[in-house]
Structure 1
Amino acid sequence: MSVKYEYRWHLRKVMADRGLYATTDLRPLLAQRGFWLSQSQVYRLVAERPVRLNLRLLMALLDILGCTMADLIEPIPASGDRAAATAASRFAPPRPKRANVLPD
């Protein structure tokens, strides 16, 4: 059985939190750091969830946005995958135990 890992990509949200609302705002900032991406590549990076991502590009995004990897990438359990659900639960805050109310 292979474990499938899923994640949510929050680049658009983090950009908006930093006042960058258009993909055209990100392109010159990436170019300053040596990443000459086309406008369509930058759009796909922002609008879609990347399957593969160069770690140097990820580091440049973290530098540009002043955020951490946890801000950009949120691990989530794969549907029907217990191992992935367990792995993702390590990143979630603990849930309180349900109270047992006893009659007087």
Structure 2
Amino acid sequence: MNKKMSYTWHLRTLMAERGHFATSDLVPLLAERGIHLSREQVYRMVTTTPQRLSLDVLAALCDILDVDTSDLIEITTADVSVAKPAGATETGHAPPVRRTTIRRPTSS
């Protein structure tokens, strides 16, 4: 069994719960904390789950919304079974390949 990590980004929900309905509301609040992002960057960060996020931005968002990181990012893990390749043994390895020898008929 392998573990599959996933996470849910709750920024938009937390913003709405605190009365911030426009993504542009965050631009000046982030700037007050030394984070200078364009309106487009903030929009993408709010409307989609970021793949990369600096700790400075994460700390600023937590401060603005008065939340912990666990409120903003919900991390989940799930056990995932990995399919074995056809012909795999109990160890998960395929058996060794046996080479075929082609012999031409000899003329008599």
Q: TM-score, normalised by structure 1?
A: 0.71
Return the structure number with greater strand share.
2
Shift of residue 2, structure 1, vs aligned partner: 6.8
> Which stretch has the larger CA shift, 46-55 or 71-80?
71-80
What residue ranges of structure 1 are gaps of 5+ in the alignment?
82-104
Residues 47-69 of structure 1: per-residue CA shift (max 9 Å, x gap): 11111110011000000000111
Match of 2:61 in 1: 61
CA distance in 1 between partners of 2:15 and 2:41 (Å): 16
The secondary structure found in structure 2 opposite 1:5 is strand
CA distance in 1 between partners of 2:79 and 2:16 (Å): 29
Is it true that 1:36 corresponds to 2:32 in the alignment? no
What residue ranges of structure 2 are gaps of 5+ in the alignment?
82-108
Match of 2:11 in 1: 11
Is it true that 1:71 corresponds to 2:71 in the alignment? yes
Shift of residue 4, structure 1, vs aligned partner: 3.7
Match of 1:96 in 2: none
Larger radius of gyration: 2
Moved over 3 A (4+): 1-4
The secondary structure found in structure 2 opposite 1:57 is helix
Task: Note the aligned Cα RMSD (angstroms).
Answer: 2.2
Shift of residue 23, structure 1, vs aligned partner: 0.3
Q: Percent sequence identity over matched residues?
A: 53
- AA at the equivalent of 2:24: T
CA distance in 2 between partners of 1:77 and 1:55 (Å): 22
- AA at the equivalent of 1:15: M
Shift of residue 3, structure 1, vs aligned partner: 4.5
Return the structure number with greater helix share.
1
CA distance in 1 between partners of 2:49 and 2:9 (Å): 5
Quickly say closer, same or farther: Cα 1:25–1:78, change in 2 above 3 A. Answer: same
CA distance in 2 between partners of 1:72 and 1:80 (Å): 25
Match of 2:101 in 1: none
